[in-house]
């Protein structure tokens, strides 16, 4: 077997690391068998796809890549909540994958929210261990930035 020169290997690795990310990312809304919604790249087994949205990379900011380095984002909500809709839209605008849990009729979801925050206030976004309650766009953006989720490219 022929060995490649070290400089060739180094250039190949450098090119693979600096390759431009894909120009679009599709986020789908999945409805789980228990009725909760999850937003991700694709639906897990047993879930049905409710809808999808494509986010385009304008080249002004790096396309978010989600992996084990970023915390899990859980969104606690109830139906008919205007503030919940605002938070959901903010998460979708940043292409943040999240697990949505309706606390209205689920004792398990209520217990998870109470454990995370000490209360039952919705909307609440749990970013890893960091809760953000209510609709406070600045607090939400700051928590997402601190967790490594990149802000969307400016549209100005």
Predicted confidence at residue 69, as pLDDT, reads 59
- Length of the chain as a residue count: 156
Average pLDDT over residues 121-137: 94
Q: Which domain holds residue 32?
A: 20-146
Residue 131 in domain: yes
99 pLDDT band (50/70/90 cuts)?
very high
Query: Does residue 154 lie in a domain region?
Result: no
Task: Answer whether residue 44 is part of any domain.
Answer: yes
| Domain annotation covers residue 155 | no
* 11 inside domain: no
Q: Write phi, then psi, for 4 (nearest 5 degrees).
A: -85, 145
Residue 6's pLDDT band (cuts 50, 70, 90)? very low
Q: Tell me whether residue 13 is in a domain.
A: no
Q: Does residue 12 lie in a domain region?
A: no
**Is 112 inside any structural domain?**
yes
Beta bridge partners of 24: 56
Encode burial over 84-121: b for 16+ CB neighbours within 10 A, e otherwise: bebbbebbbebbbbbbbbbbeeeeebbebbeebeeeee
132-149 residue pLDDT tens: 999 999 999 999 998 888
Tally the domains of the chain.
1
Residue 49's CATH number: 3.40.30.10
């Amino acid at each position: 077997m022929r060995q490649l020169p070290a400089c060739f290997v180094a250039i190949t690795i450098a090119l693979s690391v600096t390759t431009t990310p894909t120009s679009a990312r599709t986020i789908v809304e999945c409805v789980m068998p228990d009725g909760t919604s999850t937003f991700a790249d694709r639906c897990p087994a047993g879930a049905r796809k409710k809808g999808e949205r494509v986010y385009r990379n304008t080249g002004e900011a790096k396309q978010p890549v989600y992996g084990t380095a970023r915390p899990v984002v859980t969104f606690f909500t109830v139906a008919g909540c205007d503030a919940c809709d605002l938070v959901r839209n903010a998460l979708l605008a940043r292409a943040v994958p999240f697990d949505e849990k309706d606390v209205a009729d689920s004792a398990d979801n209520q217990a998870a929210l109470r454990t995370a925050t000490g209360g039952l206030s919705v909307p609440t976004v749990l970013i890893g261990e960091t809760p953000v309650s209510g609709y406070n766009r600045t607090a939400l953006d700051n928590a997402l930035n601190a967790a490594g989720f990149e802000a969307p490219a400016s549209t100005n």
